Amino acid sequence: MAYITDENGEYKRTVRCGHCWQKGHNKGSCPERKKDLADRIKKVKVQIKADSYENDWSRRSDQQRLESYTEQLDKMLNKGKNRKCSYCQEGGHNRKTCTVRKGAIANAASELTTWREKLHSKMQDVGLGVGAIVRTGVRTQDDTVFALGFVESIYWNNLDNDSIFCKEDWRPSCPNIIKIRVLGDYTNRWNEKVTSQNNTVPLRVANVDGEFLDEDKLKRIQSGYPALVMVSGVDEVVTPKNFLDPDVINKLATAHVDNS
């Protein structure tokens, strides 16, 4: 490992060539090594053509050296030409430089930004923010009851591409990002006191574009945990400062594309 200074005068880690010992490249891409190998090949070819060897061992040695030098130079000259991208399976580039992957990440980032903006707008419309009074289904030892509670926190950072409401899904899901502080004395089936629980965003909020859902899908959505019901909303739903930050969005979009 070696260091160089960038345009700002700061140290930056780089590689050191094992052939010429210069910084900034390795042995596999060293221009001096390419020239040395080409010169060696030319010299050995002249010796083989002259065929002035005193014995067969010397002749075979030069032939082996010619094969070795040629193989090394071919490898350097053709480096990357037969490489296939692990994302699009096309040749000539790798995953990091893949334009198809970059396009997919850009689309995913745009989709996530739009989704976050629309969801926040819908939550603002109903006042679903920290401090809002709600009713939430609590599963007790005997039955499921609707308990009064308030929104204690919202896991905004969990809103990634996989949480986007999609009506095309067999069972469209609403993001589970609402933490409720339960008011009252309730005990769950494990005989534990229920003080808080997480809830999904209500369907009418998560379905930001108001898309039509057929009866079967509605039944599948509603067959899960009882939906959160608004009682009294807040005036302003506050999001984190980095909620729409391009770097945050791009990181989530990249993870989504790479894991899809």
The phi and psi torsions of 160 (rounded to 5 degrees) equal -110, -175
Work out the pLDDT band at 142, boundaries 50, 70, 90. confident
Residue 210 backbone zone (phi > 0: left; psi -120 to 50: alpha; other: beta)? left
Q: For residue range 35-93, what is the model confidence (pLDDT) as tens digits?
A: 999 999 999 999 888 888 888 888 899 899 999 999 998 888 877 666 788 889 888 78
Q: What is the pTM of this model?
A: 0.67
Q: How far apart are alpha carbons 16 and 13 in whole angstroms?
A: 10
